[in-house]
Amino acid sequence: MSYTPRTPDVLADDVLVTSGIDGTYPPASGGQGARIEQDAAYSRLHACPTAGTDQNGRVLVLSRQ
């Protein structure tokens, strides 16, 4: 999750649930925070999905290739 406001309220092990308001992620998608990268204004949250792929309507796979 990119461009998340930088706030001390988010910790690496927090459980995340999306609202779906901006249309980037479907509503009620969940994950557990694995890592947080921060710059001066924003945070980038890396999370591991908490639900199986059989419960999701869409899946995005990112590769470093």
Tens of each residue's pLDDT in the chain, 65 residues:
666 777 667 777 888 787 888 887 777 777 887 788 888 888 888 888 776 656 667 767 777 77
**Would you tell me how many other CB atoms lie within 10 Å of the CB of residue 31?**
19
Q: How far apart are CA 27 and CA 49, in angstroms?
A: 14
Q: What is the pLDDT of residue 43?
A: 81
Q: What is the pLDDT of residue 55?
A: 64
47 within 8 A of 34, measured Cβ to Cβ: yes
> Residue 11 half-sphere exposure, CB side, CA atoms within 13 Å?
2
pTM: 0.52
Structure tokens at 21: 């308001």
Q: How far apart are CA 32 and CA 12, in angstroms?
A: 8
